[in-house]
Amino acid sequence: MRTSIVALGAAVLAIAALAGVRAGAFEPVQQEEVEESARGGSGAEAKATAPKPMRVVKSNAEWRKQLSDLEYYVTRRKGTEQAFTGRYWNHHGDGIYRCVCCETPLFDSKAKFESGTGWPSFFAPIGKGVVKTEVDRSNFQIRTEVLCRVCNAHLGHVFRDGPRPTGLRFCMNSASLTFQDRAAAEAEAAARAVLESDPQPEAGAGEEEADGPGPGPEEGPAPGR
């Protein structure tokens, strides 16, 4: 009897300890913390791969036409894909994970880690200002939702049980992401940099050259005629 009581007490303590860890993990994460977690080492990469963010707004009909059923359910209806079923939970490519809706660069593969949860997990976004957070009180719990700042797509949630250096775990849905290998991302960034650095002619510029100068004295009628 005494052995059974001791075992039961140990089990209760273990459950309580586990509950404490999970409660800490679910503690809301502030937007300032997310911005601070943006990898300082990849700041240059973020600037190189990300164009200037612009708001992308589309109707539900337009999103349905662009996305698959699962992508629409996750990103526009705040759904969640089943664990261990997504295309990126066990993906180890070197490159950039972009928003499936608007192609905004969101996460660098260098910040990806094995969380054992069945969803792709990152300890930081690729740079500041690419994601935003909101308090999610669905399913009888309080979590911190992560959304794309450009198109407002639901990406997943962020928790406080991640690895160093941030201690955060951005638990994302594979259906909310698309992957671009690093070589392609760098080539695209280089091409964009060339276009942005090449000044475009102003409207109306060169019209005088095209029309040419007006007729000179020798081309006009001779005096007295």
Tell me whether residue 99 is one of the annotated catalytic residues.
no
Q: What integer pLDDT is reported at residue 169 of this predicted model?
A: 97
Q: What integer pLDDT is reported at residue 4 of this predicted model?
A: 53
Q: What integer pLDDT is reported at residue 9 of this predicted model?
A: 46
Per-residue DSSP letters for 83-146? TT-SSSTT---SEEEEETTT--EEEEGGGEE--SSSS-EESS-SSTTSEEEEEE-GGGS-EEEE
Q: What integer pLDDT is reported at residue 212 of this predicted model?
A: 53
Q: What integer pLDDT is reported at residue 145 of this predicted model?
A: 98
Segment-wise mean pLDDT, segments of 10 residues, the chain, 225 residues: 48 41 69 75 45 82 98 98 97 97 96 97 95 94 96 97 96 98 92 80 54 52 46
Q: What integer pLDDT is reported at residue 25 of this predicted model?
A: 74
Q: Which of 99, 101, 102, 171 is catalytic?
A: 171
The correct answer on CATH 2.170.150.20 for the domain covering 27-195 is yes
pTM of the model: 0.72
